[in-house]
Structure 1
Amino acid sequence: MDLDVPIRKIIHVDMDAFYASVEQMDNPVLKGKPIAVGGGGKRGVISAASYEARKFGVKSAMSGRLAEKLCPELIFVQHRFERYKDISKRIRAIFFDYTDLVEPLSLDEAYLDVTENKIGFPSATLIAQKIRERIHYEIGLTASAGISINKFVAKVASDYNKPNGQKTVNPEDVLEFLEALDIRKFYGVGKVTAEKMYQKGIFTGKDLKTKPLDYLEENFGKSGKYYYHVVRGIHNSPVKPNRIRKSLAAERTFSNNLSSEIFMLEKLEQIAQEVARRLENSRMSGKTVTLKIKYSDFTLQTRSKTLPYFINDKSVILDTAKDLLYQEKLKNSVRLLGISLSNLNTSKNKANLDKHDTKQTVSVQLKFDF
């Protein structure tokens, strides 16, 4: 193992039940009660649930109807995305007091590289503690954090002591930590992949580590190489302050199922308008238009078309989406339509960012203030 390669000090900060916590903070009547953001009405889908609601099994992406069955006392609250964005900006400002290497993943989570930091603290653990204290004191919300040598381990660790906690995985403990980890806890292993791994006798990181690279690539495709490396503590991706966006999308869930393409055209126009607006705000264009269709039985279908030029105009996006809609017959009535644009004109910058990646190797002999 190469001991000359510097080990990064990475923090993953994850706000606790962010949307729901903001609503409880702004409306004290909701504190301590099971609430769901979104999900109201006959066809609503939940965006976030408070910890009081999660005890009943309520979670994001669940239908409001099912959530209400699980928790009859559930209180539904409307989204207030502008408020969430405002709070997120204030949280991010705290991050920048410690480092300029901040990579937001969403409104409520981000990676920070504090290997070299603005306050000169040698301990990433203490920096994470200070950040969490400031978020609580200055904003009124709680956050959890994971601290380790790379983004993968830090993200896994941030989920360990939620809510309002943190976990540090020191360099000398990384391999042992990963070997003991349930395969479902590995970031990037979804429900379907986890079931496939179970069928092959892979239940923990230790089990995964026994599988050679060719076996993992044969059974899990391109992801096999990723699994092979992360279980050995190797994750090369640095914190990227100017994180490249891969796609931009908008979608609508309908109050009543739509059974004919004709009824969907007006909805598609509204969605295309929203995509075009977001592209203009982000100063982006893209080549690949994808139409997302969710049927009444909750099955999902996507249809894509790549154009020979970059687009951001509503009419072109809409015309392409219409072509995709009529590409084949619908399988059932439709409850949701979405349009996304990918292959964005930001992708040309990716090579410039990736070339700064450094190979990272873990040694159990390596010890320093973490």
Structure 2
Amino acid sequence: MNALINDIEIIKAKTTKINDVDFDNLKFGHVFSDHMLECNFKDGKWQAPKVVPYGPISLDPSAKIFHYGQSVFEGMKAYKDTDENIWLFRPLDNFKRINISSKRLSIPELPEDYFMDGLKALLEVDKDWIPKKVGSSLYIRPFVFASGNGFHASPADEYKFIIATAPSGAYFAGEVRVLIEEKYSRSANGGVGFAKAGGNYAGQFYPTQLAIEKGYQQVIWTDDNTHEYIEEAGAMNIFVRINDTLITGPTSDRILDGITRKSIIELAKAEGINVEVRKITVSEVVEAAKKGTLKEMFGAGTAAVISPIAGFGYKNEDFELPKLDDTYASYLKKRITDIQTNKAEDPFGWRYQVK
């Protein structure tokens, strides 16, 4: 059955998978809902988006995504409140950022209505897939990649924009210990570290696997030149609390302008927490750990919101973080998730209702 929502064609799946899903025991990003949004760029313009059944994509072996890596993505979440209202968190920031990423990789930028109206149409069709359990959400993955064919090293002439969704539980379970990287780099000046480019993450996997083999769960990335400055934690922005001051590094060519990061900074300042946005040296963090003034470290990103770090390793030495009863991480995470799920007032205008 076909229908139109906001002039977007809806092609319904013939059957649903929802009855086979255990919504009380969801892994992160393992189960996918019935539909996806699909939009193609060809003949120099983006074609009309459609909501179609979720399923495989057919591509020519010469599609340039396989050879030159033109691919960018975003991460978002949808929530339901107790009245069945659907909410997004700062979605226009995701729209703006996917276009910033696209521009850096020479991918055509998306029209705002294609992104926003397409997303709303998709959520309307698959609204029953949005979990209600506390800590769960519908993870949303918008992405764009080169579908045009050819072995010539140049931008493609055709692209595909897709939004797929996955009902998901918590991203991390248990304590997270990290290794401060001394050799490998996530990104470099003048590169694409500030973009959500697929290749950024592919380059992280090998050093992260080395860290896992040493007993850590993630890597703390340092700058590409000296490895003296802390930059990101795995695929997240990083925050460090020394005494009662919350510190995070400034964004740059190398560091993603995280939406959760921005929200934490703004919220912490509004709550009277002293926040410093500045470069953080590894030696400063190690020294604070030795003195006992390092109170917390945590990663911040869409998937986990806030992921506390229990300890870190550096130069064959391990450092444990203190176990505090009241942490900035737990307080700020609750404040943000309460805003996201419509359990608290939103003085910042971050919450976006899908109607």
TM bucket, shorter chain: under 0.3
Higher strand share: 2
Higher helix share: 1
Larger radius of gyration: 1
Normalising to structure 2: TM-score of the pair? Answer: 0.27
Normalising to structure 1: TM-score of the pair? Answer: 0.26
